[in-house]
Chain A
Amino acid sequence: MEQILRIFYKNGSFFTFAGLQLLCLYLIVNFNSPQSAIAVETASIFTGSVKSGAGTVEGYLNLAEENEIQRREIADLRSRLPEAGYSTTLETDSIEDKTYAQRFIHLTANVINRSPFSPNNTLVIDRGTGQGVAAGQGLVGREGLIGIVDLPTENFSRVISILHRSARISAGLRNNAYGTLQWDGTDPRRMILTDIADYLTVMEGDTVFTTGFSNVFPTGQVIGTVESSEVQPGTGSQNLIVRLINDPLHTNNVFVVRDLFKDELAKLKPLK
């Protein structure tokens, strides 16, 4: 207290000056019309910028919540896409009754843990059996694929990334050629699509889609584009290097895909 008083005593002239100057500003603004107009204008510019700044900050504070809302919306919309449906179109005579039964449903999830980068990448998401996650369900990002659920617990699930040497994904091209997509454990941007017949012409830049044959990912999901192809001598097939559309190692917002027809389709396994 004494020190504060001393500061006031030592700088008495400054505080007098500041106080009187404020009084002067008040008088100027209140009793002189041109100055008051300028002051009002300046104040409105200033408060405007402060308000918009505050709005931006407020927007950021709500960002997580907004994000969650948006992602639920996306999950809902994805579930309504034709690819998520099972066509029950019946063509009787010339009447077409085009309806879809729900086939794939999407559940939002966040990646909460990842293994260090290695040839066998796994990750953990914050959804588990409590939310209906089961082993073998696919994980997609906003675009592209992420992985396949391996071990669900009650609230979390371990996921084998598509960048895992034992991951096998059924993928195909627009011309219905299909093969197995796998990763050789080196470049996280590229995967290899094997077992494409060598007589098929594949152009660089062709899009690679999921086939949906394995009931893991929805049919027709874009995986990436063909970068190059190399014929494997003696096997009658060619390998395609696929450039991924997404970056599975750095995606946090994901969707778990559940195929409602999986059990039914499992009864129809190929005969050995």
Chain B
Amino acid sequence: MGGVDSVSNIIRFFILLFLQVFIFRQVSLGWGGAEYIFVFIAPLFIALLPLRTPKPLVVIFSFLFGISTDFFYETLGVHAAAATFCGYIRQFVLVILEPRDGYKVKASPDGKDLSLSWWFSYLAYLVVAYTVFYFSMEAFSPVFWKQITIKSLLTAPVSLLLCGILVTFLRPRI
């Protein structure tokens, strides 16, 4: 799961998809008949794509992960839209978070050259982008901005926590 080659990326695709649609799909907490907390780990897949992946391909892979999630969630297009957006802004997040001496794309395979705090802020950007876009697409109208805000505020920390835990165990090189 920590590799940069295409095979390990494909394996990661299916493992994370499995986790998302069979385990984390069951998680939905809320009150008063409405659900507010969900867990999304799609941002983790997008985050873990290798640094050298061409930018259009990042977007396409994100879309594929999103649309696969959608088939299980029966919300065709919603996850795909959020994932595509997330994959698109990944390049800008990487620019913002670039270390002073740049990324060491050819570092050792077990590469732990990026700190835990870097990983958390990186994931935070992607998770927040994903959740906000997801709930916007789910509501599909700015009229529901209150629900969008509440759901995003509650879902993003939980998703970030889970993505963070998963990445702490693995801490791959990207």
CB contact between A27 and one of B58, B80, B91, B140 (< 8 Å): that residue? B80
CB contact between B85 and one of A17, A26, A28, A42 (< 8 Å): that residue? A17
Query: In this complex, what residue of A is CB-closest to B144?
Result: A38
Interface residues of B in 57-94 (CB under 8 A from A): 58-60, 63, 66-67, 70, 75-78, 80-81, 84-85, 87-88, 91
Residues of B within 8 A of A24 (CB): 63, 66, 77-78, 80-81, 84, 137
Q: Is the CB of B78 within 8 A of A28?
A: yes
Q: Is the CB of A12 within 8 A of B80?
A: no
Query: In this complex, what residue of A is CB-closest to B76?
Result: A31
Q: Tell me, in angstroms, the Cα distance from A21 to B83 when the chains sit together.
A: 10
Please tell me if B54 contacts chain A, counting CB pairs below 8 Å.
yes
Please tell me if A117 contacts chain B, counting CB pairs below 8 Å.
no
Q: Is the CB of A31 within 8 A of B77?
A: yes
Please tell me if B55 contacts chain A, counting CB pairs below 8 Å.
yes
Please tell me if A234 contacts chain B, counting CB pairs below 8 Å.
no
Residues of A within 8 A of B108 (CB): none
Q: Is the CB of A35 within 8 A of B76?
A: no
Known: A21-B84, A24-B84. Contact between A13 and B77, CB under 8 A? no
Residues of A within 8 A of B85 (CB): 17, 21
Interface size counted on chain A using CB atoms at 8 A: 23
Residues of B within 8 A of A20 (CB): 59-60, 63, 80, 84
Q: Is the CB of A28 within 8 A of B87?
A: no
Known: A13-B88, A14-B88. Contact between A25 and B77, CB under 8 A? yes
Q: Mark B19-56, 1 if CB is under 8 A from A, else 0.
A: 00000000000000000000000000000000000111
Q: Tell me, in angstroms, the Cα distance from A34 to B140 when the chains sit together.
A: 9
Query: In this complex, what residue of A is CB-closest to B59?
Result: A16
Q: Mark A42-66, 1 if CB is under 8 A from B, else 0.
A: 1000000000000000000000000
Residues of B within 8 A of A167 (CB): none
Residues of A within 8 A of B58 (CB): 13
Main secondary structure of the interface of A (DSSP, over half): helix
Q: Is the CB of B140 within 8 A of A21?
A: no
Q: How large is the interface on B (under 10, 10 to 19, 20 to 34, 35 or more residues)?
A: 20 to 34
Most B-side CB within 10 Å, residue of A12, A17, A24, A38? A24
Q: Mark A177-188, 1 if CB is under 8 A from B, else 0.
A: 000000000000
Q: Is the CB of A13 within 8 A of B76?
A: no
Q: Is the CB of B78 within 8 A of A32?
A: yes
CB contact between A32 and one of B60, B76, B141 (< 8 Å): that residue? B76
Residues of B within 8 A of A31 (CB): 76-77
Residues of B within 8 A of A25 (CB): 77, 81
Query: In this complex, what residue of A is CB-closest to B90?
Result: A13
Q: Tell me, in angstroms, the Cα distance from A264 to B117 when the chains sit together.
A: 108
Q: Is the CB of B77 within 8 A of A38?
A: no
CB contact between A21 and one of B54, B56, B81, B138 (< 8 Å): that residue? B81
Q: Is the CB of A27 within 8 A of B56?
A: no
Query: In this complex, what residue of B is CB-closest to A18?
Result: B88
Most B-side CB within 10 Å, residue of A17, A23, A30? A17
Given contacts A12-B55, A20-B63, A35-B140, 4 further A-B contacts (CB under 8 A): A13-B55, A28-B76, A32-B78, A35-B138
A-B CB contact pairs (8 Å), 25 listed: A12-B54, A12-B55, A16-B56, A16-B59, A16-B60, A17-B85, A20-B59, A20-B80, A20-B84, A21-B81, A23-B77, A23-B80, A24-B78, A24-B81, A24-B137, A25-B77, A27-B67, A27-B70, A27-B76, A27-B80, A28-B78, A30-B76, A32-B78, A34-B140, A42-B141
